[in-house]
Structure 1
Amino acid sequence: MKLNHECVRDLLLLLELVPYDGGSESDLQQVIESSNISDLFDLDTFYYTFIELIDGGFVDGRKYQQMPDAYAFTKITYKGHEFLDNIRDNTNWEETKSTIASKMGSASLNIFSSVAAKLIENKFGL
């Protein structure tokens, strides 16, 4: 399955709204269903994206071993917040995607974050 970068951004923005409760877990499906974001992507895409965000160190969470298609979310990691801060702004996100598409077509999330950070730096003349 291909990692959907739009889903990565939307899911991180959604997970950021989940209150941190000292390390207790939230059911991912309930988080998704409580928003209108489920209109944009199917659950398989969300779950795949979530697992990839865990593997990439962007979020803390897990798959419940005893229940199929059940996932728990704890928090966004520092790395996840850094990425999200670089791509939060819609204009910067669109410019980042456009820059990457014009140069190479696709890239890793780390490259997306670096390009987005560079665009922000350029806007501030840094």
Structure 2
Amino acid sequence: MKRNFDLIRHILLKIEESDSERMTIDDFVTDEYSPKEISFHIRLLLDVNYIEATSIRTLGSPFEEFIVQRITMFGYEYLDSVRDPKIWTETKAKLQKATSSVSLEIVKSVATKIISGMLGI
């Protein structure tokens, strides 16, 4: 499965919007994103310490289930750079020009440079 930066942003925004400390995969499902895709991306967010979540093994489930508790400081640092829809759109446009894959750090760096430019820094 390929990493989807739009889905990563979607998950972080949903966690931030929620008052719950017990979100499940169902809280993130849309017509665009399947439970299996969401599960994969929650695992990726755990890998980079952007969120805190507990894995729940459910017998017969085709994907890993999670209880998502919160965004970490690392997660907020990333989300702060991509939260604004205008910044996100411009960031994605710049990243499409890249000839190869990019990391989350590059995404954050590009968005931060766009924000800096808007601020005249």
TM over 0.5: yes
Q: d(CA) in 1 for partners of 2:99 and 2:16? A: 30
Matched pairs, number? 118
The offset of 1:99, in angstroms, is 0.9
Partners of 2:103 and 2:78 in 1: CA distance: 12
Quote the residue 1:58 is aligned against: 50
TM-score (norm 1): 0.84
**Runs of 4+ more than 2 Å apart:** 29-32, 65-70, 103-106
Alignment of 1:1-126 (within 5 A): 1-19=1-19, 25-32=21-28, 37-65=29-57, 67=59, 68=61, 69-126=64-121
Which digits, 9 at most, give the CA deviation of each residue in 1:51-71, with x for residues without a partner?
100111110112113554421
What secondary structure sits across from 1:100 in the alignment?
helix
Unmatched runs of 5 consecutive residues or more in structure 2 = none
Q: Normalization by structure 2: what TM-score?
A: 0.87
Contact 1:18–1:31 (Cα < 8 Å) also in 2: no
Q: What's the C-alpha RMSD, in Å, of the aligned pairs?
A: 1.7
Ranges in structure 1 where 5+ consecutive residues have no aligned partner: none
